[in-house]
Structure 1
């Protein structure tokens, strides 16, 4: 059995991504709040550590879609984030906003919370686009360079930011802001629950918003709890 009680929430999910399903069940934030200790997270959620450990140790908790991110090379993890998550935000975000705009126009009078959701989601897309560009132009190229240098036994490459820890700290702060924003969106939509008068488009919108948030949580988890710590460790190893 893993020594869960001495691990952080992020470490537990990084060790086995299926554990994210258990944490979601109890409302435990494993991406933006990944640095919190398992004990503290259980205390905040009002659930016994032993109960969660029992659920995480159950074989049926595994899924065929589970990905063992921790076994991947660092540069492959960056490839994954770029090609799956960055690309996904840019492709899916505008489509969701277009549908959100239509649904808000039709149902906004009876459900004014949709106008708030529309505002917050638009702001999220703007901020996320800037965030992705900073990762693509500053942080990730340096991580690629470090990974290649280490592979080829070359000396450490120069980085104009000084240390990789500086952009990582900024990116984690922005991750926290997005995590808070989607907690608000989830609250405004009653955890993405369709009201009784919702049409098919309204229901589809909520499903798409919920999936967008789920994908964003995976994205942030992989960066905060796997890529960033390993990049810091790699830099210090030169």
Structure 2
């Protein structure tokens, strides 16, 4: 199994927030990509690398970023020989390829033909999430059906459905449909889905198929990986694994909340592993 961390976003909302603060220590973060922001004293993405390295079945970790942040990720990755960093070749938010295209870039460039974990580089989870438990769950699904895929899910509040992809599922925990940012009245489900996916090697060709179908579509339909997931659930078995919640570092408020949480908790946790 290999891991792909998606880190090619430009963090435009977060950067605008930083430009409006008076705290110089926060302003100093303006040139820092979100996955490298200090959380509890460590770069956010480092939590993932440590957890992934602890899994004996993991072979390689790939990070896709952009030209603006490539040098910063390369400098950070010097401490992690198992990590390979590449750029998507873009330099501005307007040029961005989108998360699904970045995933395909990794699949093609490194000729990946094994099961993969795909992780959003600006996301962390609460302490009830342990990577090895999720891996065991996926291994059992894969042994039963090698076409199976697994994603994480947590219960969101009614007013939050319009911010997320919401899973509609059956009693076996299989996902039957995904509604993208629906109103609370549009679905009875409150199963939100963060960017953490385990894809079978048999699913990987679907990424290219999806992009070919969407080649003339606006970037908004190809950027969020949830759009690919919504397309995929009608073609491959996709199941969900429940967690209690996540941190999505999208703006300054969410960053400060995440940092505070880890400042208070990290010394007491064997986080993620």
Which of these two proteins has the greater Rg computed from alpha carbons? 1
Higher relative contact order (CA 8 A, sep 6+): 1
Category of TM-score, reference length = shorter chain = under 0.3
TM-score, length-scaled by structure 1: 0.27
TM-score, length-scaled by structure 2: 0.25
Instruction: Give the structure with the larger strand fraction.
Output: 2
